[in-house]
Chains A and B, each alone.
Chain A
Amino acid sequence: AQSVAQPEDQVNVAEGNPLTVKCTYSVSGNPYLFWYVQYPNRGLQFLLKYITGDNLVKGSYGFEAEFNKSQTSFHLKKPSALVSDSALYFCAVGGRGSTLGRLYFGRGTQLTVWP
Protein backbone atom coordinates (compact mmCIF):
# COMPACT_ATOMS: atom_id res chain seq x y z
CA ALA A 1 0.00 0.00 0.00
CA GLN A 2 1.11 3.54 -0.71
CA SER A 3 1.19 6.17 2.00
CA VAL A 4 2.63 9.55 2.82
CA ALA A 5 3.59 11.03 6.17
CA GLN A 6 4.06 14.67 7.01
CA PRO A 7 5.52 14.54 10.52
CA GLU A 8 4.93 18.19 11.37
CA ASP A 9 1.44 19.67 11.65
CA GLN A 10 2.92 23.16 11.82
CA VAL A 11 6.13 24.85 10.73
CA ASN A 12 6.96 28.38 11.78
CA VAL A 13 9.78 30.38 10.23
CA ALA A 14 10.84 34.00 10.09
CA GLU A 15 10.71 35.84 6.79
CA GLY A 16 14.02 35.61 4.96
CA ASN A 17 15.04 32.38 6.64
CA PRO A 18 15.18 29.06 4.80
CA LEU A 19 12.22 26.76 5.22
CA THR A 20 11.78 23.00 5.06
CA VAL A 21 8.52 21.06 5.09
CA LYS A 22 9.10 17.37 5.59
CA CYS A 23 7.55 14.42 3.79
CA THR A 24 8.28 10.71 3.87
CA TYR A 25 6.61 8.07 1.75
CA SER A 26 6.02 4.37 1.54
CA VAL A 27 5.43 2.84 -1.87
CA SER A 28 6.04 -0.33 -3.79
CA GLY A 29 8.21 0.45 -6.78
CA ASN A 30 9.33 3.84 -7.99
CA PRO A 31 7.21 6.71 -6.75
CA TYR A 32 5.56 9.67 -8.37
CA LEU A 33 5.81 12.42 -5.73
CA PHE A 34 4.04 15.75 -5.59
CA TRP A 35 3.75 18.89 -3.52
CA TYR A 36 0.60 21.01 -3.51
CA VAL A 37 -0.20 24.25 -1.69
CA GLN A 38 -3.55 25.47 -0.44
CA TYR A 39 -4.06 29.12 0.41
CA PRO A 40 -6.98 30.06 2.70
CA ASN A 41 -10.36 29.48 1.06
CA ARG A 42 -8.72 28.36 -2.16
CA GLY A 43 -8.26 25.13 -4.02
CA LEU A 44 -5.04 23.16 -4.30
CA GLN A 45 -2.29 24.47 -6.50
CA PHE A 46 0.38 22.21 -7.96
CA LEU A 47 3.91 23.20 -6.89
CA LEU A 48 6.24 20.54 -8.21
CA LYS A 49 6.68 16.84 -8.87
CA TYR A 50 9.28 14.11 -9.04
CA ILE A 51 8.82 11.43 -11.67
CA THR A 52 12.35 10.40 -12.55
CA GLY A 53 15.77 11.90 -13.15
CA ASP A 54 17.47 14.61 -11.10
CA ASN A 55 16.82 14.26 -7.38
CA LEU A 56 16.47 18.03 -6.95
CA VAL A 57 13.23 19.26 -8.44
CA LYS A 58 12.45 22.93 -8.92
CA GLY A 59 8.90 24.22 -8.91
CA SER A 60 6.73 27.30 -8.69
CA TYR A 61 7.29 30.36 -6.46
CA GLY A 62 10.96 29.48 -5.79
CA PHE A 63 10.22 26.16 -4.11
CA GLU A 64 12.28 23.04 -4.63
CA ALA A 65 12.22 19.51 -3.29
CA GLU A 66 14.83 16.84 -2.87
CA PHE A 67 14.04 13.22 -3.56
CA ASN A 68 16.03 10.87 -1.34
CA LYS A 69 15.40 7.26 -2.17
CA SER A 70 17.43 5.78 0.69
CA GLN A 71 15.56 7.84 3.27
CA THR A 72 12.24 7.63 1.37
CA SER A 73 11.85 11.37 1.75
CA PHE A 74 10.74 14.25 -0.45
CA HIS A 75 11.21 17.41 1.63
CA LEU A 76 10.03 20.77 0.31
CA LYS A 77 12.48 23.64 0.63
CA LYS A 78 12.85 27.31 -0.08
CA PRO A 79 16.04 29.31 0.53
CA SER A 80 14.31 32.48 1.73
CA ALA A 81 10.74 32.40 3.06
CA LEU A 82 8.16 35.09 2.35
CA VAL A 83 5.13 36.00 4.46
CA SER A 84 3.04 35.19 1.39
CA ASP A 85 4.28 31.58 1.55
CA SER A 86 2.08 31.05 4.61
CA ALA A 87 -0.34 28.31 3.60
CA LEU A 88 -1.22 24.63 4.00
CA TYR A 89 1.17 22.31 2.18
CA PHE A 90 0.40 18.77 1.10
CA CYS A 91 2.74 16.03 -0.01
CA ALA A 92 1.26 13.28 -2.18
CA VAL A 93 2.33 10.05 -3.85
CA GLY A 94 0.75 8.99 -7.11
CA GLY A 95 0.09 5.69 -8.80
CA ARG A 96 1.66 4.50 -12.00
CA GLY A 97 0.36 2.45 -14.90
CA SER A 98 -2.97 0.88 -14.04
CA THR A 99 -3.23 3.03 -10.89
CA LEU A 100 -2.36 6.33 -12.59
CA GLY A 101 -5.50 8.00 -11.32
CA ARG A 102 -4.73 7.28 -7.67
CA LEU A 103 -3.21 9.94 -5.45
CA TYR A 104 -2.48 9.54 -1.74
CA PHE A 105 -2.09 12.67 0.37
CA GLY A 106 -0.39 13.40 3.64
CA ARG A 107 -2.35 15.18 6.34
CA GLY A 108 -0.82 18.55 5.51
CA THR A 109 1.60 20.96 7.18
CA GLN A 110 0.56 24.48 8.07
CA LEU A 111 3.41 26.85 7.25
CA THR A 112 3.47 30.23 8.96
CA VAL A 113 6.07 32.78 7.97
CA TRP A 114 6.49 35.61 10.49
CA PRO A 115 7.42 39.10 9.29
Chain B
Amino acid sequence: EAQVTQNPRYLITVTGKKLTVTCSQNMNHEYMSWYRQDPGLGLRQIYYSMNVEVTDKGDVPEGYKVSRKEKRNFPLILESPSPNQTSLYFCASTWADTQYFGPGTRLTVL
Protein backbone atom coordinates (compact mmCIF):
# COMPACT_ATOMS: atom_id res chain seq x y z
CA GLU B 1 0.00 0.00 0.00
CA ALA B 2 1.33 3.41 -1.03
CA GLN B 3 1.69 5.66 1.97
CA VAL B 4 3.55 8.37 3.80
CA THR B 5 4.35 7.50 7.41
CA GLN B 6 5.41 9.75 10.25
CA ASN B 7 6.73 8.96 13.71
CA PRO B 8 5.98 9.71 16.39
CA ARG B 9 2.33 10.67 16.02
CA TYR B 10 2.30 12.53 19.32
CA LEU B 11 5.20 14.06 21.21
CA ILE B 12 5.46 16.19 24.33
CA THR B 13 8.89 17.58 25.08
CA VAL B 14 10.60 20.42 26.90
CA THR B 15 12.31 23.52 25.61
CA GLY B 16 15.78 22.91 24.26
CA LYS B 17 15.67 19.13 24.04
CA LYS B 18 16.63 18.08 20.52
CA LEU B 19 14.11 15.96 18.67
CA THR B 20 13.60 14.33 15.28
CA VAL B 21 10.35 13.54 13.54
CA THR B 22 10.75 10.88 10.92
CA CYS B 23 8.99 10.73 7.57
CA SER B 24 9.11 7.87 5.13
CA GLN B 25 7.43 7.11 1.81
CA ASN B 26 7.39 3.84 -0.07
CA MET B 27 6.50 5.22 -3.49
CA ASN B 28 9.93 6.25 -4.78
CA HIS B 29 8.78 9.88 -5.05
CA GLU B 30 11.43 12.48 -5.66
CA TYR B 31 9.80 15.47 -3.95
CA MET B 32 9.07 15.53 -0.24
CA SER B 33 7.98 18.37 2.05
CA TRP B 34 7.34 19.35 5.65
CA TYR B 35 4.50 21.61 6.80
CA ARG B 36 3.19 22.94 10.06
CA GLN B 37 -0.49 23.60 10.67
CA ASP B 38 -1.63 26.24 13.14
CA PRO B 39 -5.21 27.37 13.80
CA GLY B 40 -6.23 30.25 11.56
CA LEU B 41 -3.01 30.08 9.56
CA GLY B 42 -3.57 27.00 7.43
CA LEU B 43 -0.53 24.97 6.45
CA ARG B 44 2.83 26.60 5.94
CA GLN B 45 5.72 24.90 4.23
CA ILE B 46 8.87 24.50 6.32
CA TYR B 47 11.27 22.76 3.94
CA TYR B 48 11.08 20.72 0.81
CA SER B 49 13.40 18.38 -1.02
CA MET B 50 13.64 17.78 -4.75
CA ASN B 51 15.81 14.65 -4.44
CA VAL B 52 18.55 13.06 -2.38
CA GLU B 53 20.86 15.72 -0.92
CA VAL B 54 18.80 18.54 -2.46
CA THR B 55 16.69 20.61 -0.08
CA ASP B 56 15.34 24.16 0.02
CA LYS B 57 13.59 26.45 2.45
CA GLY B 58 9.88 26.97 2.48
CA ASP B 59 8.06 29.84 4.16
CA VAL B 60 8.90 29.14 7.82
CA PRO B 61 12.28 27.36 8.01
CA GLU B 62 13.62 29.10 11.14
CA GLY B 63 14.34 26.69 13.96
CA TYR B 64 14.18 23.58 11.78
CA LYS B 65 16.63 21.40 9.90
CA VAL B 66 16.10 18.63 7.39
CA SER B 67 18.21 16.06 5.63
CA ARG B 68 17.63 13.78 2.65
CA LYS B 69 20.22 11.05 2.62
CA GLU B 70 17.96 8.47 1.05
CA LYS B 71 15.05 8.92 -1.30
CA ARG B 72 12.47 7.37 1.00
CA ASN B 73 13.27 9.30 4.20
CA PHE B 74 13.01 13.00 5.00
CA PRO B 75 13.41 13.64 8.76
CA LEU B 76 12.59 16.97 10.40
CA ILE B 77 15.01 18.02 13.13
CA LEU B 78 14.41 20.56 15.87
CA GLU B 79 17.81 21.22 17.41
CA SER B 80 16.48 23.37 20.26
CA PRO B 81 12.68 23.33 20.34
CA SER B 82 10.79 26.30 21.72
CA PRO B 83 7.14 26.65 22.75
CA ASN B 84 6.30 28.53 19.54
CA GLN B 85 7.06 25.32 17.65
CA THR B 86 4.11 23.63 19.29
CA SER B 87 2.07 22.65 16.26
CA LEU B 88 0.72 19.89 14.05
CA TYR B 89 3.32 18.77 11.54
CA PHE B 90 2.72 17.05 8.22
CA CYS B 91 5.09 15.37 5.84
CA ALA B 92 4.14 14.99 2.17
CA SER B 93 5.52 13.42 -0.97
CA THR B 94 4.73 14.43 -4.53
CA TRP B 95 3.56 12.34 -7.44
CA ALA B 96 2.08 13.64 -10.71
CA ASP B 97 2.18 17.24 -9.45
CA THR B 98 0.10 16.32 -6.39
CA GLN B 99 1.27 16.20 -2.78
CA TYR B 100 0.08 13.31 -0.62
CA PHE B 101 0.21 13.79 3.12
CA GLY B 102 1.15 11.68 6.08
CA PRO B 103 -1.10 11.35 9.14
CA GLY B 104 0.55 14.18 11.08
CA THR B 105 2.62 14.58 14.25
CA ARG B 106 1.24 16.64 17.08
CA LEU B 107 4.14 18.27 18.91
CA THR B 108 3.88 20.10 22.21
CA VAL B 109 6.93 21.96 23.53
CA LEU B 110 6.66 22.93 27.20
Cβ contacts B32-67/A at 8 Å (1 or 0 each): 110100001111110011100000101100000000
Give complex CA distance A89, B42 in Å.
Answer: 10
Interface members, chain A 56-115 (any B CB < 8 Å): 90, 92, 94, 100-108
Cα distance, A81 to B56, chains bound together (Å): 40
Q: How many A-B contacts at CB < 8 Å in the complex? A: 56
Interface status of B97 (Cβ within 8 A of chain A): yes
Interface residues on chain A, size class: 20 to 34
Chain B interface: which size bin?
20 to 34
Contact of A44 among B45, B48, B97, B101 (CB under 8 A): B101
Is A49 touching B49 in the complex (CB atoms < 8 A)?
no
Across the interface, which residues of A come within 8 angstroms of B42, CB to CB?
90, 105-108
Contact: B90 with A46, CB < 8 Å?
A: no
Can you spell out 8 A-B residue pairs with CB atoms less than 8 angstroms apart?
Answer: A43-B103, A46-B100, A90-B42, A101-B48, A101-B49, A103-B99, A104-B45, A108-B42
Residues of A within 8 A of B (CB): 32, 34, 36, 42-46, 49, 51, 90, 92, 94, 100-108
